C-alpha cells in the first residue's frame, strides 16, 4: 500500500492529496468579487503551484471538473482555460453550473493529475 501525502492540510481539508502516482486537488477558487477572467487566472495559478509542490504540472492532468456560478460565463472562463492548457495535453473535463461557497465566487476548478 502506498503512503498518502497531504499538502496544506487543516482540520477540514487538504489542498492536495498524493496517493501512489495520482495527485488530487481540492476545488480551487480565486479572489471573491473579481471578474471571471481574473478568478480563472488565479485558480489556474493555484493549480500550477499545487501541482508543482506535488511534483507534477499541467501537462499531466487527467481530469478537470469546473463549476461556474453562471453558465453565461462559460466562454469567458474557456478563453483563459484554453490559453493555459498545454497543446495536446487536455484532460477529460466536465463543466457545470453550481451555487458556490459564496456568491462572490464565480469559478471553481478541481483537478486530478498523474505524478511525473
pLDDT over threshold 60, residue 2: yes
pLDDT at 64: 98
Separation of CA 67 from chain center: 10
Rounded mean pLDDT, 4-33: 96
pLDDT at 99: 96
pLDDT at 66: 98
| Spatial CB neighbours of 80, under 8 Å, sequence gap ≥ 6 | 37, 40, 41, 44
pLDDT in tens, 52-104: 999 999 999 999 999 999 999 999 999 999 999 999 999 999 999 999 999 99
d(CA 57, CA 48): 6
Q: Taking all residues of the chain, what is their mean pLDDT, rounded to a whole number?
A: 96
Q: What are phi and psi of 61, to 5 degrees?
A: -65, 140
Residue 18 to residues 15, 30, 44, 98, Cα–Cα distance (Å): 10, 23, 19, 27
pLDDT above 70 as % of the chain: 98
Q: Which three cell numbers stand for residue 106?
A: 464565480
Rounded mean pLDDT, 28-51: 97
CATH architecture of 4-114: 2-Layer Sandwich (3.30)
d(CA 25, CA 112): 6
Amino acid at each position: 500500500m502506498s503512503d498518502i501525502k497531504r499538502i496544506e492540510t487543516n482540520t477540514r481539508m487538504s489542498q492536495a492529496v498524493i496517493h501512489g502516482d495520482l495527485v488530487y486537488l481540492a476545488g480551487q477558487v480565486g479572489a471573491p468579487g473579481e471578474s471571471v477572467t481574473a478568478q480563472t487566472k488565479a485558480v489556474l495559478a493555484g493549480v500550477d503551484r499545487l501541482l508543482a509542490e506535488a511534483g507534477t504540472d499541467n501537462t499531466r492532468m487527467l481530469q478537470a471538473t469546473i463549476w461556474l456560478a453562471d453558465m453565461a460565463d462559460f466562454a469567458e472562463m474557456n478563453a483563459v482555460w484554453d490559453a493555459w492548457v498545454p497543446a495536446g495535453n487536455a484532460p477529460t473535463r466536465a463543466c457545470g453550473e453550481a451555487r458556490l461557497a459564496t456568491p462572490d465566487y464565480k469559478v471553481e476548478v478541481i483537478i486530478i493529475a498523474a505524478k511525473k
